[in-house]
Amino acid sequence: MNQYSPLINVMIGAAHKAGRNLIRDFGEVEHLQVSLKGPGDFVTKADKKSEKIIFEELRKARPHYCFLMEENGEIPGNDTSNKWIVDPLDGTTNFLHGIPQFAVSIALERDGVLIAGVIYEPITDQTFWAEQGKGAFLNNRRLRVSARRNLNESLFSTGIPFIAHSDKAKALFQKELEAIMAVSAGVRRFGAAALDLAWVAAGRYEGFWEAGLKPWDIAAGIVLIREAGGFISDINGKPHMMKSGTIVAGNDILQPELLSILQKSAK
Ligand code: IPD
Ligand code: CA
Ligand code: CA
């Protein structure tokens, strides 16, 4: 039985409370799907409500910490060493379409270092969490990245650019996909980057790559991958994922291979 630290307890408490609310709203989306108006406005409200719940829970527990939240941006606090980084609903497009692949993601950055992460998948009640130096877990089970060593047995996950992305980003992605398709056992696109990262930490995927991500999409996942013994970098092989929005993750053997194939495909 795992003893949560007070910090992880606070983070999981907030994620679960927001998650319970998202489950209720998801049920409503399933009804609205067939209405003429569609669930768009409702989902925007669900997203904001989830963020409000997380903000209130975290503020109550740690009144002076700062925030970076997807919907409300930077919220200052007196304690400038500590910053919560929050995605209140990752996988919004899935949620909007009644697809049950979405999550809540909460990370804590202390003095510029990501030290704790929680990714909660409400529908399956799976809590992925990690704390610097203490390991990564799914509920109470310790996580390790996959032990697979061969590209041809490896399953990768990614994010496909969509209408909001530039033509350049779309063209680059096509080259990357072509290169990975040619050498791997498969590529998946499930639509929630936080869960993609959690699933690499859990050894389900051998690797994950995506560009155009925001800090709240990846902050908690970065802690999970590192604590599960994985490697992670941006597309230049540098640890600047949060700034560049590019990310390449995997185990110690396959992350460098994935990175090198992606870099070559861009040339
Ligand atoms: C999105 C998801 C998706 C990724 C997008 C993100 P949102 O986050 O993580 O998998 O491909 O780039 O914006 O909008 O659902 O919170
Ligand atoms: Ca997101
Ligand atoms: Ca979101």
Residue 104: phi and psi, rounded to 5, are -110, 135
Ligand 1: atom nearest CA of 102 is 15
Ligand 1: atom nearest CA of 212 is 12
Q: CB–CB of 134/149 below 8 Å? A: no
SS3 38: coil
Q: Which pTM was predicted?
A: 0.96
Q: Does ligand 1 have an atom closer than 6 angstroms to the CB of 92?
A: yes
Confidence of residue 84 (pLDDT cuts 50, 70, 90): very high
Instruction: State the distance from the centre of ligand 1 to the C-alpha of 56, rounded, in angstroms.
Output: 24
CATH assignment, 151-265: 3.40.190.80
Q: Where are the domains of the chain?
A: 6-142, 151-265
Tens of pLDDT, residue by residue over 105-161, are 999 999 999 999 999 999 999 999 999 999 999 999 999 999 999 999 999 999 999
Q: Does ligand 1 have an atom closer than 6 angstroms to the CB of 215?
A: no
Q: Does ligand 1 have an atom closer than 6 angstroms to the CB of 213?
A: yes
* Cα–Cα distance measured from residue 119 to residue 51, given in angstroms and rounded to the nearest whole number: 14
Instruction: State the distance from the centre of ligand 2 to the C-alpha of 89, rounded, in angstroms.
Output: 7
The mean pLDDT of 185-201, rounded to a whole number, is 98
Instruction: State the distance from the centre of ligand 2 to the C-alpha of 192, rounded, in angstroms.
Output: 7
- Nearest-CA neighbor of 248 among 227, 229, 234? 234
Rg, the chain, Cα only: 18
Instruction: State the distance from the centre of ligand 3 to the C-alpha of 90, rounded, in angstroms.
Output: 4
Residue 210: phi and psi, rounded to 5, are -165, 155
Ligand 1 mutation pick, 48, 217, 247, max ligand atoms within 8 A of CB:
217
The mean pLDDT of 77-106, rounded to a whole number, is 97
Task: Indicate the pairing of strand 113-121 with strand 103-110.
Answer: antiparallel
* Residue 2, pLDDT score: 65
What tokens were used for 57? Answer: 């829970």
SS3 208: strand
Ligand 1 mutation pick, 90, 96, 157, 210, max ligand atoms within 8 A of CB:
90
Residue 242: phi and psi, rounded to 5, are -70, -35
Confidence of residue 57 (pLDDT cuts 50, 70, 90): very high
Percent of the chain with pLDDT over 70: 99
What tokens were used for 33? Answer: 């799907």
Ligand 1: atom nearest CA of 191 is 10
Torsional class of 135: left (φ above 0), alpha (ψ -120 to 50), beta (otherwise): left
- Nearest-CA neighbor of 220 among 239, 235, 198, 248? 198
CATH topology of domain 6-142: Fructose-1,6-Bisphosphatase; Chain A, domain 1 (3.30.540)
Ligand 1: atom nearest CA of 89 is 16
| Ligand nearest the Cα atom of residue 71 | 3
